[in-house]
Amino acid sequence: MNKKYMMLAGVTALLTVSAAFATSDNNKTIQQVGVQYNGPGYVVFNEPLSVSCQYGLVYIPDVSTASGKAMLAVLLSAQAAGKPISRLDYTQAADGTCSAAIIAAGS
């Protein structure tokens, strides 16, 4: 019986350490959009986010994928039009890096 509790405690600890925390922000204006060489895209906002992301960046999934291209297109369109991002859902990993899950522009 004691072994079961120890195993359960170990699994719980692993899940807690590796968990990412989901956050949602609204009405953020874009300061910078970029893409790293052979890597993800990123966005920096003028206003502070609800969570302190490492280097102030929110990473966009691999921009060679359809979802990554779509997120990048939404960001670039909003930036060109001078419009805010109406919804940003993102997760923060244990190391402080943030990754976008949903990016929406418009009212």
**CB-side neighbour CA atoms (13 Å) of 9:** 6
**CB-side neighbour CA atoms (13 Å) of 85:** 31
pTM over 0.95: no
Average pLDDT estimate for 19-41: 88
Name which of 59, 47, 49 is nearest 93 in CA terms.
Answer: 59
d(CA 48, CA 12): 32
Look at residue 61 and tell me whether its pLDDT is greater than 90: no
d(CA 49, CA 61): 19
CATH code assigned to 20-105: 2.40.50
Task: List, for residues 71-95, the tens digit of each pLDDT value.
Answer: 999 999 999 999 999 999 999 999 9
Longest dimension (CA), the chain: 63
- For the chain, which residues make up each domain, given as ranges? 20-105
Q: And the tokens for 44?
A: 């920096």
- At CA 63, angle to CA 83 and CA 57, rounded to 5? 60
- Percent pLDDT > 70 in the chain is 81
The burial of 43, by beta-carbon neighbours within 10 Å (0-12 exposed, 13-18 middle, 19 or more buried), is given as buried
Cβ proximity of 60 and 42 under 8 Å: yes
